[in-house]
Amino acid sequence: MSLPAPDPDALAASSALHRLIGEEIEQQGGAIPFSRFMELALYAPRLGYYSGGAAKLGAEGDFTTAPEITPLFGQALAHVAAAIIAQSAPNIIEFGAGTGKLARDVLASLAAQGVQVTSYTIIDLSGELRARQQDLLRDFPMVAWADKLPEGFSGVVLANEVLDAMPVELVAKVPHGWRRRMVTLQDGAFAWLDVEADGALADQILRQVPDADSLPEGYVTEVHPVACGFMASLARLFEGGRGAAILIDYGFPAHEYYHPQRDTGTVMCHYRHHAHPEPFYLPGLQDITAHVDFTAMALAAQDAGLDVLAYMPQAAFLLAAGIGELLLQTDPADALRYLPQARALQKLVAPSEMGELFKVLAVGRGVSLPETIVRADRSYKL
């Protein structure tokens, strides 16, 4: 691969993480599940991609998210959040808040609508991003940071590009079933090792993969027990309360996710705005993600007692949330201000950009979504 070279300090940090993972592999008898490798690569204290100090977002980082593109994204979300707050409580929890721009845009838009938010809690494992959030949001006294969920909650939960960063299990089809893809060491380098799937993983495959037995030999894919567990934790969060969680990410319903032609899975890595499929490259310096199986997420939420309120592509959600009208608040004759916002909106909703690949799943208890969102619902496609 032809990718930018890291500076000496970054390379030293990656080497330290490589040694840390290698030590755990040896302690565990010579191999660890890919899910554990992904967890360490992303979240190992001080060395993992999200827990280390390197810039993640923007021109100096590795990728760009919707809130970084335009404030219209957060303003549209705020319209939906206001409707949920009116039925529950003026509280918001955001997971993985990035630079804090989504929080700023949502709070500013809600204030403009006359909605006063009592608490806005950010749960984020990235120390570097938390520092940026605290600087950007210093004028919003209702914002606080936490390391875990509260015992009970009423209000709105936001999670933009959070599910895709949760560790996944890699599995491979063999003639008589499925094998779990492990990570081992060969001459000091990470390498794959496939072992028999245990009962819990076999059950997860059966629950998540439609027609698993008919997929071809050699088929490699992911299942998502951690993300499914997160959906169950949202149900516990809303116990005794009312509200909704809006989850935005790239992915597919199960019948598209586990298509016979998608036979190498969806794991993808992002390094300085370059995408590639090699998760062992420079651990700690690159993001590792997998697409989201939205059918599995909806079923996990439903099984835990939440209602599936809506599911649709990002374009349909944003348009139903009024993003087009928000754009028109800028005079089209003012080309210097209007055209950049129009181009940003196009990136968010165009099928060839983020409009179709990104999906929105809303789950909750005791609330309903605005009628414009309900009319755009495509949860029947799950």
How many structural domains are present in the chain? 1
Are residues 265 and 277 in contact, defined by beta-carbon separation less than 8 angstroms?
no
What average pLDDT does the segment 193-222 reach? Answer: 94
d(CA 143, CA 127): 16
What pLDDT, in 10s, does the model give residues 239-287? 999 999 999 999 999 999 999 999 999 999 998 878 999 999 999 999 9
Rounded to 5°, the CA angle 298-304-309 comes to 40
Q: What percent of the chain has pLDDT over 70?
A: 96
d(CA 315, CA 319): 6
Q: Is the pLDDT of residue 58 over 60?
A: no
- What pLDDT score was predicted for residue 279? 97
- What pLDDT score was predicted for residue 55? 52
DSSP state of 288: E
Are residues 99 and 68 in contact, defined by beta-carbon separation less than 8 angstroms?
yes
What pLDDT, in 10s, does the model give residues 74-117? 999 999 999 999 999 999 999 999 889 999 999 999 999 999 99
Q: What is the 3-state secondary structure (H, E, C) of 118-150?
A: CEEEEECCCHHHHHHHHHHCCCCCCEEEECCCC
The overall pTM is greater than 0.85: yes
- What pLDDT score was predicted for residue 54? 55
What's at 65, amino acid-wise? T
Are residues 17 and 37 in contact, defined by beta-carbon separation less than 8 angstroms?
no
Q: Is the pLDDT of residue 118 over 70?
A: yes
Under the banding of pLDDT at 50, 70 and 90, the label for residue 124 is confident
For residue 212, the enclosing domain spans 1-382
- What pLDDT score was predicted for residue 57? 47
At 309, which CATH number? 3.40.50.12710
What average pLDDT does the segment 60-68 reach? Answer: 73
Are residues 234 and 306 in contact, defined by beta-carbon separation less than 8 angstroms?
yes
- What pLDDT score was predicted for residue 129? 80
What pLDDT, in 10s, does the model give residues 298-347? 999 999 999 999 999 999 999 999 999 999 999 999 999 999 999 999 99
Q: Is the pLDDT of residue 185 over 50?
A: yes
